Amino acid sequence: MLTKERKERMVKDVIEFIIMMKHLTIKTILRKCRARYSLNPLGSGNSKTGCIGTYRPVGPSCPPSCSYLNNGCYTQSGRVFLQQKRATMDETRELRTNTVALTLSAITGLKCRLMVAGGWARNGEIDTNLINNIVLIIETMREYNLSPVEPYSYTHFAHDEFKPYADMLSGVGVSINFSDYFGPRGAVVWSHDDIQELRSMLSSRADIKGIYMCPAQRSKAITCQDCKSLCTSKAFNGLVVFDPHGSKKTKAKEASTNLLELLDL
Ligand code: SF4
Ligand code: SF4
C-alpha cells in the first residue's frame, strides 16, 4: 500500500499537470493525461449523465450481496461492459484516474459520476482505502482552490453498513445514493408506470422527502449534468426511481420486485 506522502505527491503531480493545460479542451486534456499516466477508462460525458465518469471492474468491486450481479446489472452488457472490462483496481492507477476525473470536474464545471460501473468494494468488503483516497484527493485539490462539481455515486452496500462512509465522503462534497434502499437518498428500480402504487405504499414515510422519477429517463434532453437537487445534490433526502432499463431489464425488474418481500412497510 502507498504511503500518504507518496499518494499526496502523485495527486499533486496530476493536479499540476492538468492546471497547466486548463485552456485546452477536455478531450485534449484527457488524451494527454492518458499519454502520461496509466489510467482506467474515463468518460467525458455520455448521453445520459453528461458528466465525467469513472469505472471499476464489475464483480471484484461489487458487494457480493448485490442482487444485480450476474442477474441483470446494466453494466454487464453494451458499451459500459466494454469500459469496465478495461478497468483495474491497481491503487496507483485508481488514484490517478480519480484525480484526473475530479480535477477535470473542477476545471470544466462538469459534474463527476464516480463509478458509472462497479462499486465501493474490494474482496467483498467496503474498500476503505479507496474512500480515504477520494477524501485525500479532494482535500489536496483544495490547496489549489479547486473543488469538483457535485461528485456523486451509488452503492449496493446495505444502508446502515455504508452510511458512516457516505457521511465521510459527504464531508468532502461527494454524494452517495443507496441503491435498492427505500429510504432517504435511496435509488430504486420500479416501473414508472406504477409510480403511484409506490407513492401510496411509502406515504407514511415522512423521512423520505419526495419520490422522483429519474428525469433523464423521462426526457432525452435532460442529463445528470442538468438535473437539479436529486442524486448529485448533497442536500437531497428523497427517493429516486429508475424505470427498469438496459438490455437485461426484465431480470432487473424481477430482482427489484423480489426486494418488495424484504420491505417492512
Ligand atoms: S449494480 Fe453496481 S454493484 Fe451491482 S453488479 Fe452492477 S455494477 Fe456491481
Ligand atoms: S435523478 Fe437526476 S441525477 Fe439522478 S440519475 Fe436521474 S438525471 Fe441523473
- Residue 4, classified by CB atoms within 10 Å of its CB into exposed (0-12), middle (13-18) or buried (19+), is exposed
The minimum-distance atom of ligand 1 relative to the CA of 156 is: 3
Whether residue 265 is contained in a domain is answered as: no
Q: What's the rounded Cα separation, in Å, for the pair 53 and 91?
A: 18
Whether residue 53 is contained in a domain is answered as: yes
Helix residue ranges, H only, the chain: 4-20, 26-36, 78-86, 91-108, 128-142, 159-170, 195-201, 215-218, 249-260
Tell whether the model's pLDDT for residue 161 goes beyond 60.
Answer: yes
Instruction: Write down the pLDDT at residue 257.
Output: 54
Instruction: Write down the pLDDT at residue 67.
Output: 87
The minimum-distance atom of ligand 1 relative to the CA of 74 is: 6
Query: How far, in Å, is the centroid of ligand 2 from the Cα of 1?
Result: 35
Residue whose Cα lies nearest atom 8 of ligand 2: it is: 224
Whether residue 174 is contained in a domain is answered as: yes
Mean pLDDT on 95-119: 97
Whether residue 86 is contained in a domain is answered as: yes
Query: How far, in Å, is the centroid of ligand 1 from the Cα of 64?
Result: 9
240 lines ligand 2 (CB under 6 A): yes
214 lines ligand 2 (CB under 6 A): yes
Mean pLDDT of the chain: 92
Instruction: Write down the pLDDT at residue 12.
Output: 98
Higher pLDDT, 249 or 28: 28
Residue whose Cα lies nearest atom 3 of ligand 1: it is: 62
**Which band of pLDDT confidence, cut at 50, 70 and 90, is reported for residue 263?**
very low
- Give the bridge partners for 79, in sequence order: none
Whether residue 200 is contained in a domain is answered as: yes
Taking only the tens place, the pLDDT of each residue in 33-85 is: 999 999 999 988 767 788 999 999 999 999 999 988 988 888 888 888 988 99
How many domains, in total, are found in the chain?
1
- Which of 65-79, 91-105, 168-182 has the weakest average pLDDT? 65-79
185 lines ligand 1 (CB under 6 A): no
Q: Residue 148: give the domain boundaries.
A: 4-260
Whether residue 105 is contained in a domain is answered as: yes
Q: What's the rounded Cα separation, in Å, for the pair 211 and 75?
A: 25
The minimum-distance atom of ligand 1 relative to the CA of 67 is: 4
**Residue 64: closest CA among 116, 120, 113:** 120
126 lines ligand 1 (CB under 6 A): no
Q: What's the rounded Cα separation, in Å, for the pair 77 and 60?
A: 17
Instruction: Write down the pLDDT at residue 196.
Output: 97
Whether residue 215 is contained in a domain is answered as: yes
